[in-house]
Amino acid sequence: MSSKSKSNNVNSLLAAIQRKAPSSPGAAEDVPQSVALAEAPPKEPRRKAARSAVTISKPVGRVGKPVQFWLHDEDRQLVRELAAWLAGQGQRTTDSTVIRAALRMAKTGGEFLDAYRQASQLDGRLKQHKAG
Amino acid sequence: MMNITLLAKKGGVGKSTLSILLFEAFRQAGKTVSIHDWDSQGTSTKALELITGQRSQINRNADIVIWDTPPSLEHTATATAVRGADIALVVTSPAPADVWEAEEAVKFVQSRNKKAAARVVFNKVRRTTVLGRLVDESAKQVSCPSLTVTLSARECYQHAIAQGWKALDSTAREEVLQLAVALLSLK
């Protein structure tokens, strides 16, 4: 294959990638990475703004109550994975906030029932109860 | 946005090299691309600094986000990257031991993210060798489709880690772009 025809192939492949635009809701328009990276956000003012936002939005009288429940190793691994993903989104989390977020997302249905059955299979107390 | 997670149970199969090659291919096509380097070795991060001349930053609005994971399926980062993936790309070489590990990685993806398109890509293929000729047979050993595009063992791919797109000859560029097109065609 001549170098000219190879060059044509490369150009047509580049054009193909440009045509196959992945759907990006809310994504910025095509900006080269170098340009996008150059727009570094200001650091100090942003930190101040975040602090003041926390102070304002802090709910009054909503302290919550400590609860005790059982987590297996694989449950804690799931919490860690969710926390790691949130960290990738720039969120600083605790186990408590991760679990509370997951609870808010949960929807009843077949998948939830499957997940419950999976979890209940590991539940030692339930096994004891069934055996008794 | 499209999330592409590259994973493998073992190291040395070319995850980071492939991350950089895809980064460059999409960038050449005018896409915004970001690499999340979650491998503690940090190869992708170092390479990006050399290629772009800047410290890598995560661009949350990029068209394509590439997740480079640690060479372990037990690592939390691997599981997290797989959970968020639109495409989970299991990287392997044609060596039998690597293909066995690839099957474990495919099962890992299927257990963690059923919605992701799981694909195996063969890297470091030498078509003139026995293993290279048997790639199609090896692909049958894994329980998800393999990409028909394979990446050959080329020295210029190693140079691309430091020099980016300009290190690739036209044949190599064509190969990488074909892989990029194949991935975009999955979604």
d(CA B135, CA B150): 9
- Range ranked top by mean pLDDT from A28-42, A111-125, B155-169: B155-169
Residues of chain A in contact with residue B44, where contact means CB-CB under 8 angstroms, are none
Least confident residue range of A6-20, A36-50, B80-94, B98-112: A36-50
Answer whether residue A63 shows pLDDT above 90: no
Q: Which of B16-30, B50-64, B146-160 has the lowest mean pLDDT?
A: B50-64
Q: Is it the case that residue B13 has pLDDT exceeding 50?
A: yes
Q: Is the pLDDT of residue A123 over 60?
A: yes
The CA distance from A20 to the nearest CA of chain B, in Å, is 6
The pLDDT value recorded for residue A17 is 86
Closest CA relative to residue A91, chosen from A50, A60, A40: A50
Closest chain B C-alpha to A63 CA, distance in angstroms = 31
Residues in CB range of B40: below 8 A, 6 or more apart: B70
Would you state the pLDDT for residue B144?
Answer: 94
Backbone angles phi, psi at B13, to 5 degrees: -90, -15
Q: Is B2 helix (H, G, I), strand (E, B) or coil?
A: strand
Distance, in Å, from the CA atom of B99 to the CA atom of A62, rounded to the nearest integer, reads 54
Whether A17 and B180 lie within 8 Å, measured CB to CB: yes
- In this predicted model, what pLDDT tens digit does every residue of A14-54 receive, in sequence order? 888 887 766 544 333 333 333 334 344 444 455 444 454 44
pLDDT digits 0-9 by tens, A76-87: 999 998 998 888
Contacts A22 to B, Cβ<8 Å: 1-2, 63-64, 184, 187
CB contact under 8 A, A14 and B28: yes
Inter-chain contact B177–A31, Cβ cutoff 8 Å? no
Q: Which of B12, B33, B3 is nearest to B21 (CA)?
A: B33
Give the residue from B67, B185, B186 showing the smallest Cα distance to B117: B186
Out of A14, A20, A88, the one facing B185 most closely (by C-beta) is: A20
pLDDT at A2: 64
Interval B54-66: pLDDT, tens: 776 777 789 999 9
Chain A positions touching chain B (beta carbons under 8 Å): 3, 6-7, 9-10, 13-14, 16-18, 20-22, 24-28, 30-34, 36-38, 40, 77, 80-82, 84-85, 88-90
Q: Coil, strand or helix: which one is B93? A: coil
Chain A nearest-CA distance from B171, in A, is 7
Number of A/B CB contacts below 8 angstroms equals 103
- A2, A4, A13, best to mutate vs chain B, most B CBs in 10 Å: A13
CA dihedral (B151, B156, B162, B163) in degrees, to 10, reads: -110
- pTM here? 0.71
Q: What is the pLDDT of residue A40?
A: 40
The predicted structure's pLDDT at residue A29: 38
Q: Give CA torsion, residues A41, A43, A48, A50, to 10 deg.
A: 50
Domains of chain B listed by start with CATH number:
2-184 (3.40.50.300)
Which string of DSSP letters, residue by residue, matches A5-66?
HHHHHHHHHHHHHHHSPPP-TTPPP---HHHHHH-PPPSHHHHHHHHHHHHHHPPTT-----
CB contact under 8 A, A21 and B63: yes
DSSP secondary structure letter of residue B106: H
Structure-derived torsion over alpha carbons of residues B75, B78, B82, B84, reported in degrees to the nearest 10: 100
